[in-house]
Structure 1
Amino acid sequence: MASYPQRVWENIIPLSVGKTLPEAFEEWSFKDVVRDHEHPTETCELCDQESLRYQFEIRNAFTGHALWVGSQCILRFGVSVFEAGRKLSAKDTQKKLDRLTQKMRDDACLRSLQKLADAEGGSILANALRYYQGHGYLSPKFAFVVLWRLKENDIDHSPSFFKVALRRDQHKKDLREMKLSSVLQWSND
């Protein structure tokens, strides 16, 4: 089996004009195209790392070739990443990749919840999702329903993704009336 540097060499040099790794990597950049496979089943086309859930497309400016890679290869090899026409620093690249990964995770969570609502045929989860999509946040009662269904169905999520409205008196009252054990159960995941 080829060593790590050898695998990278074999995967990028034939698709590049440059004949050294530093020269070759100067030709490549991330083009804001991403894929979420929803399960860690894919392989990085640069380093051959297996079990990737998220892939990022990098493209060669001279040859037009593209590779689907993991975010760590973009960071490790300094692949150019741009935002608003400006090349990002390594720190800003990390932030952008993290932001894109979180968005893919959140989108997958919403898709899974929608599939669940459709399969259940019940109106409570469907109403909660419609409310969230219309307002960008959930009422305390809807938050309880959504977080309970996420947990019960083992759907990958970040509880902080769902903002809970507490400005209206009714929302505060609803939260006060909930059992403390119920609130703690869905707020500590």
Structure 2
Amino acid sequence: MKKIVSTMLLATLVLGAAPLAFAQDGTAPERQNNVNGQGSAEIEVNGTLGADNKDPDATIPEEDVNWINVTVPTKTIFYNTADDPAIKAPTYNIVNHSGRPVTVTANGFEAGEDNSVLPEDFDLNLAVSGNNVTTATTSLIAGGQLAENLNSELITLANNENHLTVDGAAGESAATFTYTGTATVEEQLELTYTLNLKFDAVSWN
């Protein structure tokens, strides 16, 4: 019986010790010291104050939100006329100033509380142009109904040096977007919406 218990205890210790080869922060084993039979260890410490997320060599963890440095417009417009159902809009810019590529996703489109009843043929789309586009046209409103659970990846912007990867694969740090669609109206309707864009820094590891 003692032999069985000892064997089980040994197996538990061996299995339980296996994860110790990996740090809790995910540090690779080759970057760890196995302190065995010594009473102390020295650990190199590197710090950065005022880390610049525009610098590709900045010591900010990969995919950290602090890599995000993107310019987008604060307000946008679309319109049509009673004589022409086609929706028109200016062209707007999205620019990535970060040292990492950034993926842009449309993940919300909400209507204002005071919006009028919408025409049943009202369609509104978000149209994106640029290098490395994932979704060129995203439906925001179809048949007068807002898109539900919007989660449309639009584009991956290259970093501020126009690189998509650490190896220097070429891309563009800027893109444009506008609105398209149609609606039939007989009188002017004032509408308000909020478009939510999500930004994710792309890892170079």
Please state which band the TM-score falls in when normalised by the shorter chain: under 0.3
Q: Select the structure of larger CA radius of gyration.
A: 2
TM-score (norm 1): 0.22
Q: Is the helix fraction higher in 1 or 2?
A: 1
TM-score (norm 2): 0.20
